[in-house]
Amino acid sequence: MYNKSEFFCAPNVSKKALNRFYAHFSAEKEELHALEVYEGGKLLIRSASAPYSTTDKRECYSISKSFTATAIGMLITEGKLSEDDRIVDIFPDRCPPVISENLAALRVRHVLSMNMGQTDWECLMPQMTFADDAAEAFLAQDFPLEPGTCFAYNTGGSCLLAAIVQHISGMTLLDYLNIKLFAPLGINGVNWVCVNDGTNAGGLGIQLCVGDMAKLGLLYLNGGVWMGKRLLSEEWVKAASSPISDNNQNEDDKMDWRSGYGYQFWINARDGYRCDGASGQYCLILPKYNMVFAIQTLLRDMPAEIDAIFDFIEHIHDADDACDIPVLLPDYTPPRSMTRITGMENRVYRLEENPLRFTTFSLSYDTAKDALLLNFSNGEYTDTVTAGNGRYFESTLTAPYFLPRMDNLIDRRHVEMCRIASSYRMIDGEVHWLARLLNCPNPVHVKIAFSDEAVTIRIEPDELVVYDATVIKGTLQN
């Protein structure tokens, strides 16, 4: 059962300012899941609102890019790669028969800084995800502009960086970082999705806890040194955190997306730079304040989140009017249902063919827990999901297409283990199952409707993840 939040706060942190920051996430769908803040290398704040935890390894989206760049920086620090190496020289056997002038001019630094000669509507990741050879698919594309002349955010370039690491090191990006970065930093249990050819996706797909993100920030804040050992050169850290690319042409974006782009890091308008992932995953490195601010959220308005962070930082050490101010963590306790389903317990439904590969479904009721038990079989094994009434229970569901992913950027056909904190409500005779993913920011909403001898299961991902709902129909068998 998941009902306990986590909280630590240093004595010199203003509770009033902290509550004002937490209140930013009180609105519907603007959620703060986990937070770690360091100042001068010391922990200031650690918090997580139930059912989330600061130890959850979860999808961090484009935070992945900064870790990928760090692997490139390590290869450069080791003298095995240069920012000025040409891509066609790294992959001579994967180039197209005719190499254009712009492709020939493409160098590692152009890929790092999202200045590859592409335009902003030509993301190459969909082609690379399903290709037999991701690097070859990248090199086969058109490069209409001279590299270094136009910033265009392109996740495919980050996947190419992952392919470069694999090509030079002889191991996957994840394995290379396990040895060179994660072991020294004390980071364990990292997962990273691969594209079709076995290359780690690079630009997305890494699963980290908030503390893992903070450790990368602390490494950069300390100039590439960890516990007295240099892991990255000072030159790399300076270059990665500098506005290499001019992205001021992003006229519709807020200032923190128009203040420059380094080597897979965004430059902040007010201070420092950041790792930046969809739905509000951030790790801000703030030299002026000597701080690292790592946060995992679920929200739409990412610019407002950065504004709230900087406002909080400006007031983080304000003197409070009283010493006994209670801290009000964001509360995601699910509502209780006053009714329960009747007459459907232990009825087994055979399901039509569906992407999640479920073959049968049934449900029962655990009176002691006041919880629904949702049983999904795939013909080989059965997963039972426990959904609490007014509280969460953790379960594991193993299936493809259930864990929210950004469609076409990651192959969702592979079976994945989904850690779920579940609750349910009865609304108009339907079971409304809320599955809060603990290895992904985005929840899944499932509606289960019964009629005569049939069941309809409608799986609707959070609207921030773009793909269609899945509808599964079944017929009663007993």
Provide the residue ranges of all domains of the chain, joining segments of one domain with +.
6-314, 349-476
Is pLDDT of 3 > 70?
no
Radius of gyration of the chain (CA): 24
242: left (phi over 0), alpha (psi -120 to 50) or beta: beta
- Amino acid found at 98: V
Bridge pairing between strands 349-351 and 360-366: antiparallel
Residues 194-204: tens digit of each pLDDT: 999 999 999 99
Spell out the residues 6+ positions from residue 143 whose beta carbon is closer than 8 angstroms to its own.
Answer: 100, 102, 103, 106, 116, 117, 118
Calculate what percentage of the chain has a pLDDT beyond 90.
85
The yes/no answer on whether domain 349-476 falls in CATH 2.40.50.140 is: no
Is pLDDT of 121 > 80?
no
Burial class, 97, CB count within 10 angstroms (exposed 0-12 / middle 13-18 / buried 19+): exposed
The arithmetic mean of pLDDT across residues 9-28, rounded, is 92
What is the reported pTM?
Answer: 0.96
Between 236 and 324, whose confidence is greater? 236
Between 417 and 177, whose confidence is greater? 177
The arithmetic mean of pLDDT across residues 234-249, rounded, is 96
6-314 CATH fold: Beta-lactamase (3.40.710)
